[in-house]
Every structure is written in structure tokens, then in C-alpha cells.
Structure 1
Amino acid sequence: MSGRRADQLGLGPNAARPTIRIDKWLWYARFFKTRSLATKLVSAGHVRVNAQRIAKPAFAVGAGDTLTFAQGNDIRVIRITACGERRGPAPEARMLYEDLDPPAEKPPKEEREFIPHNPAYEGKGRPTKKDRRNARLCGPDPLD
């Protein structure tokens, strides 16, 4: 293994701080439900570490690094405070990072606009027996 690669993985003699793979850390910190989702996001180049775009899930990060990535409709800016030992419960995961985003103000739940999951489907389903009779009576005569 080359010296630079060993240092990046935290194995070399110049390794001053513990590091961890970025996909593993994102999963440990519970930003993604599975490690494969974190890997896909990193591989697609949607994660920045200290303002540099990375595309390798094996990129080593450690305490003090700043991550920027999209999560849902939000852009997250996170400073890593610890590497973590495992994927633990949510309170333990929150101890691994410091959120640098200002809290976004959301309107109260009563004021939010309701957007149906599938607006094209407005309760259209199988026609009722009455609808079928009307269609049969009003439709073209099969004997003509």
C-alpha cells in the first residue's frame, strides 16, 4: 500500500487523527438508512468534503472535516466531531456531528398546503354497478 493511501486511511506513521470511510460515517450518523444509499450518493459526486467534491466512497474523513450534501429537499452542512464506533441509536448518532445549517422556519402544520401523493388519481377506481348500467344504457347500441 502506498504511503499516501496509508495516511489517508489512517494507517501510516503520519496519521495524526482517526479516520473512517465517508460512506460508513454517513451511515453511522444516520443520514442514510443503508450504507449502500450513502455509497450511491458519494459515488454520484453529490458530497463535498471541505468544499472539495469527492466521488470515492472509501474517502477517509475525520473529526474537523466539513461535509456538504443534499438530503431530501435540504442541503446539509455538517462538521464531523467524532468518527464513531458503530451505528447506534439516534441520540448517539447526533454526538458524531455538529449541524452548521441555520434551522429553517417551517410554517405550522395547519398552514402547510396539502399536496396529495398522486394528484392524477382523484378517487377513480372501478366503476360502481350504477355507473356500469348508465354506461351500458347511454352508450352505443350493440345491435346497430
Structure 2
Amino acid sequence: MDKWLWHARFFKTRSLAAKVVSAGKLRVNGQPISKPAYVVTPEDVLTFPQARDVRVIKVLALGERRGPAPEAQALYEDLDPPKPREPSTQVPRFEGKGRPTKKDRRALAQSRTDLLE
């Protein structure tokens, strides 16, 4: 399972894919899977979280290697493509001329941390 997710380029590393599977966050045909060594077959439907989205994927083929993106996209069909994200609140920027002063930099850093909280 973790190897297929890595081959299909859903996760940057195989260990990240294994971590998602081990945490029990992946479902195969509606059944939760907690073992990264689970064997995936064509026509299986996978449901798992990725970033802020929940992906629903139908397996079309098994991958032999982690190849380029077009080759990886041929391994699956996306049943519920992620929706485009709405632009969130803008991060404040320094709007003065030239380099900001130390006071301006502190205010800018404080406003950025306030947005993250």
C-alpha cells in the first residue's frame, strides 16, 4: 500500500505514506487499513487525507517504479478531484520605501504570528 501511494506520487517519501497508513487514516473499499504492507489491486477505491483535502482514488494499475508525473497519473483515476482553494487573508507586507526599520520588522513579524493563531 505505502509503495503504491509513493509510486503514484501522492506522498513525497515512502515513509510518509507508511505513516498515514499506519495511523489508520486510509480506507480501501470503505474498510480502514492499518498495515502498510497491504496488497492493493486494480479497481480498489482508496480514501485518505492529503494536506487539507480528502482524496478518493480508484486504482487502475500497479506501478513498477516511481516514474515521471504523467506515468504516475496513469495508475489511478481521481473520483473526487480537490476543489480550488479560496484565497485566504493576505499576509501583511511592508509597504514603505526602502528597507524596513527594526520597529517595522517587529510589527510585521507580530502581525504574521497573529494571523497564524
TM tier, shorter chain? 0.7 to 0.9
- Asked if residue 113 in structure 1 is aligned to residue 113 in structure 2, the reply is no
Whole-Å separation in 2 of the counterparts to 1:80 and 1:56: 18
Identity of aligned residues (%): 60
Structure 2 residue corresponding to 1:89, chosen from 68, 72, 83: 68
Deviation (angstroms), 1:114: 3.7
Q: One-letter code of the match for 2:42?
A: A
Give unpaired runs (5+ residues) of structure 2. 92-103, 108-117
Deviation (angstroms), 1:124: 1.4
Whole-Å separation in 2 of the counterparts to 1:37 and 1:105: 24
Give the structure 1 partner of residue 32 of structure 2.
53
Give unpaired runs (5+ residues) of structure 1. 1-21, 117-121, 126-144
CA-based RMSD of the aligned residues comes to: 2.0
Deviation (angstroms), 1:106: 3.9
Q: One-letter code of the match for 2:67?
A: G
Task: Give every structure 1 segment of 4 or more consecutive aligned residues whose post-TM-superposition deviation is greater than 4 Å.
Answer: none
**TM-score w.r.t. length of structure 1:** 0.61
Deviations 1:89-138 (A, max 9, x none): 0000000000000452444xxxx23454xxxxx8319xxxxxxxxxxxxx
The aligned length equals 96
**TM-score w.r.t. length of structure 2:** 0.75
